[in-house]
Amino acid sequence: MNITNNTNYSKNNKKQQKNIKNKKSQKNKNMDITYTEGFLKIATHNVRGFNNETKQKLFRTFYKEHKIDIIGITETKLNRNNSKICMNNIESYKTWWESAEDNPMGAGVGIMVKNDLSKYIHKVHKNKGRLIAIDMKFKGHSDIRIINVYIESNDAKKEERKETVKILLDWIHQGK
Amino acid sequence: MGDFNADPEQWTKEKATINSTKYLILEKLKNENFIDLQKITNEMPLKHTWKNNNVIRRLDQYGLAENGQKIYIIAK
């Protein structure tokens, strides 16, 4: 009886340990969902101005905590000089920015890509502070083009809006 | 993806009456068979992404090309 009990205990114990191990492994898996496991976490974020360093710091923490692989940022309102230094001290991400030379306050887009992923980028496209895109090549998979766009909100800028959509479509057709 | 500055739900309501380039991007993406990811992966009503006084709009969106449909995506 005791032996049986012990055997059962031992069996149950092993089973319990296996369950705990599986749960731990599942927990770790859930916490670390990234491109390495076949997932890409992509986000778009309208920042309504990205000149403020405190704002940049808050977002830096947010992106890191949520383990986002690729972030498209819109309405940065950064001028060319500021975009050179924007988020440049962010560890684990590589960044690209595009500003409008004539009116940086009404435009600005960017893309942030995790360092480990950035090696798959073979081309970055930019246009007039409204469009930014990355072309990614993964071994054994189709190429991916990710486009981040900030369309003109002002109805007075109809022609500019048309032009942005036209370029967007050109980029879509190139990527197909 | 990005700020399209055009709400798809509003477009549905206004498209018969409005003559503007406001919804041009949505029209073109529809013609290209792009998929509105929020729409297919979330329950209705969809959450807004922009708010001004009492007006709420879904201006920031994700579109997926039809040849990218093999990718499983959750858009929140």
Nearest by CB: A44 against B22, B32, B60 = B60
Binned at pLDDT 50, 70 and 90, residue A5 comes out as very low
What pTM does this model have? 0.81
- Please indicate whether, in this complex, the C-beta atoms of A42 and B67 are within 8 angstroms of each other: no
DSSP A85-99: HTTTT-TTEEEEEE-
Residue in chain A lying closest to B26 (CA): A165
How confident is the model at residue A40, as a pLDDT? Answer: 84
- Please indicate whether, in this complex, the C-beta atoms of A168 and B28 are within 8 angstroms of each other: yes
Task: Measure in Å the smallest separation between the Cα of A22 and chain B Cα atoms.
Answer: 25
% of chain B exceeding 70 in pLDDT: 87
- Domain residue spans in chain B? 2-68
How confident is the model at residue B42, as a pLDDT? Answer: 87
Q: Is the dihedral of CA B72, A48, A84, A124 positive or negative?
A: positive
Residue in chain B lying closest to A107 (CA): B3
Least confident of A3-12, A167-176, B30-39, B47-56: A3-12
- Please indicate whether, in this complex, the C-beta atoms of A176 and B67 are within 8 angstroms of each other: yes
Binned at pLDDT 50, 70 and 90, residue A9 comes out as very low
Domains and CATH numbers, chain A: 39-175 (3.60.10.10)
Write the ipTM.
0.88
Tokens of A2: 């005791």
Nearest by CB: B1 against A72, A155, A165 = A72
- The answer, yes or no, to whether residue A32 has pLDDT greater than 90, is no
DSSP A46-105: E-S----HHHHHHHHHHHHHTT-SEEEEE-----HHHHHHTTTT-TTEEEEEE--SS-GG
DSSP B3-67: E-S--HHHHHHHTTT--SSTTHHHHHHHHTT-EEHHHHHSPSSPPPSEEETTEEE--EE-EE-GG
Nearest by CB: A44 against B32, B62, B67 = B62
Residue with tokens 């924007």: A86
Nearest by CB: B20 against A150, A151, A155 = A155
pLDDT digits (tens, 9 = 90+) for A98-156: 999 888 888 999 999 999 999 999 999 999 999 999 999 887 777 889 999 999 998 88
How confident is the model at residue A39, as a pLDDT? Answer: 76
B56 lies within 8 A of chain A by CB: no
B14 lies within 8 A of chain A by CB: no
